[in-house]
Chain A
């Protein structure tokens, strides 16, 4: 009996770190140094990965579909940029302010996703995103309106590391914040709390019937995800020194969902893998054909969904397996 007790504890250790994860993160943190001329895109990938990670918390783990996640991204970005412009230029304090503002907004908006079906929720999240964009547009005395918020100057990180033109400091900064929030997210989803979220995703009726306070859980995870999205937005405005209405745009909410679909929902690395593939494809293809890169992204998505992610990453299964069942990847 004692042997099987150990077994149960072992089977439940979903939060353990595996060797390949350590290698992956070491490689990621070394990349701004090893590929210093590509620091700008590394920074962008880290930010997109964090944004997608935040969406995964609500979409992948809790089953809330959202097409308005850019609202929190934009909120974090503007809050951090305004803070550095009007109050003080310290990046970490600015990041905290960005996260705090997005979290508060998330808490307020969470009441809108508690009721209704997936479709009504999709519409509500979309609407909130549009409202926020229009607000940023109208409050032009504060936000700069359609011209964007110019003249955001960042102080040195920790008072020591200046943001350089090549973007190395920025890339390290974003990667570090991504790693910190990833570690927190990993604890979060592998905890009893995270398990109740998965239960709500799988079967809301039964989740209620075993005493899980479903509405409260949904509010909390939506708020947390909003805060993480705010962190991603803050990183973007801080490292680019600019915030514009484009941050609230619908395409940003849609892109981040694409990223998650590419990488896979519900395993945290989906956002990281998706951001890597999406950004590299965007970068490579748009260098070849600047006008039509979305065509190739679209084609890739169609192939991904029809063939399935599982088979796409295992080329040796492509041929001679006509009789095997058509196993699509979980999207």
Chain B
């Protein structure tokens, strides 16, 4: 039972049907406290649908989602964020006319219950500013904090994408392909930042980049055709014949370049 009490996020028997198509079929997934859990699978396996179910963008046809012991299946997306589950997006979803500093100050203020305050200036609270400083530092954004987000280099935008999520002080963080499309020169900075995310945050990583997956994850779930094919630690997954078959003979641990966008 110790494993049970250690579970932060639990998806139980999730089913999602779009008309006649079953995109998610009886998926059960448990995320432990401080987890580094990767969700992998070929395109069309239902990874994005699963993320949308977890974050509340979609309502499951069947099944339950439990966050820290409470059933959140019926909650709206922004309510789930307030309970500590935050996601990033595969395609950057940023606030283009705000600067990184304004963006983070806005997010931190909102998260600390100041979002409804209209008589205070955005930069008036020292504790909010201090947190923004930390985040800018942590995500290598201090040098560009005063520039409009739309003019930033792609790597910086990718970092801001994750910084926004972390500014919400999540207990569960869903990272949707954090290094997708990042040019080689900016990759290392991003990989280091992802590796250095706070240990007490439980992370579910959705990723095609097998280098990142195998260096990051302590546990992995393989999704195929909307169903969980198998779950295990990286060694088990790497040597699982079924998984190898799914990846069409790619040697999974080494398939760093071929599977990146596959």
Interface residues of A (CB under 8 A from B): 1, 4-5, 8-15, 187-188, 190-196, 198-199, 201-203, 205-206, 208-214, 266
Contacts and interface: CB of A to CB of B under 8 A. Distances in A.
B93 interface: yes
B164 A9 contact: no
B92 to A, nearest CB: 9
Interface stretch (B33-41, B64-72, B75-83, B237-245): B75-83
Contacts of B78: 208, 211-214
Contacts of B94: 202-203, 206
Contact of B130 (A5, A190, A266): A5
A224 to B, nearest CB: 9
Nearest to A195: B106
Interface of B: 55, 77-79, 81-82, 86-87, 89, 93-99, 101-103, 105-107, 109-111, 114-123, 126, 129-130, 132-133, 136, 142, 145-146, 164-165, 167-168
A4 B142 contact: yes
A210 B77 CA distance: 9
A78 B111 CA distance: 42
B51 to A, nearest CB: 11
Given A191-B119, A196-B115, A210-B107, A12 B101 contact: yes
A58 to B, nearest CB: 15
Contacts of B129: 5, 8-9, 12
Nearest to A266: B97
B129 to A, nearest CB: 5
Contacts of B123: 8-14
Tell me the dominant secondary structure on chain A's binding face. Answer: helix
A194 B95 CA distance: 13
A193 B93 contact: no
B133 A4 contact: yes
Contact of A206 (B114, B120, B122, B164): B164
Contacts of A210: 81, 86, 107, 110-111, 164-165, 167-168
13 contacts: A5-B126, A5-B133, A11-B101, A14-B123, A195-B106, A195-B109, A202-B94, A202-B98, A209-B86, A210-B107, A210-B167, A211-B78, A211-B79
Given A5-B126, A11-B123, A192-B122, 20 more contacts: A1-B133, A4-B142, A5-B133, A10-B123, A12-B129, A14-B121, A14-B123, A191-B119, A192-B117, A193-B116, A194-B118, A202-B94, A202-B97, A209-B77, A209-B86, A209-B87, A209-B93, A210-B165, A211-B82, A212-B110
Contacts of B77: 208-209
A211 B109 CA distance: 11
Contacts of B97: 198, 201-202, 266
A325 to B, nearest CB: 14
B121 A211 contact: no
A183 to B, nearest CB: 11
A201 B95 CA distance: 8
B168 A211 contact: yes
B146 to A, nearest CB: 5
Nearest to A189: B118
Given A4-B133, A211-B110, A195 B86 contact: no
Please give me the 10 A-B residue pairs with the lowest Cβ-Cβ distance, nearest first: A12-B123, A211-B81, A192-B109, A195-B106, A206-B93, A202-B95, A193-B118, A191-B118, A192-B114, A211-B78
Nearest to B111: A211
- Tell me which of B93, B111, B117 has the highest count of chain A C-beta atoms within 10 A of its own C-beta: B93
B168 A206 contact: no
Contacts of B93: 203, 205-206, 209
Contacts of B55: 209
Nearest to B108: A192
A214 B78 CA distance: 9
Contacts of A11: 99, 101, 123, 145-146
A208 B123 CA distance: 22
Contacts of A206: 89, 93-95, 164
A14 B146 CA distance: 12
A55 B146 CA distance: 28
Given A209-B86, A210-B86, A188 B81 contact: no
A187 B117 CA distance: 10
A225 to B, nearest CB: 13
Contacts of A187: 118-119, 121
A245 to B, nearest CB: 34
B55 to A, nearest CB: 7
B122 A199 contact: no
Given A5-B130, A196-B106, A202 B119 contact: no
A203 B95 contact: yes
Contacts of A13: 121, 123
A195 B105 CA distance: 9
A206 B161 CA distance: 10
Contact of A191 (B102, B117, B126, B133): B117
B171 to A, nearest CB: 13
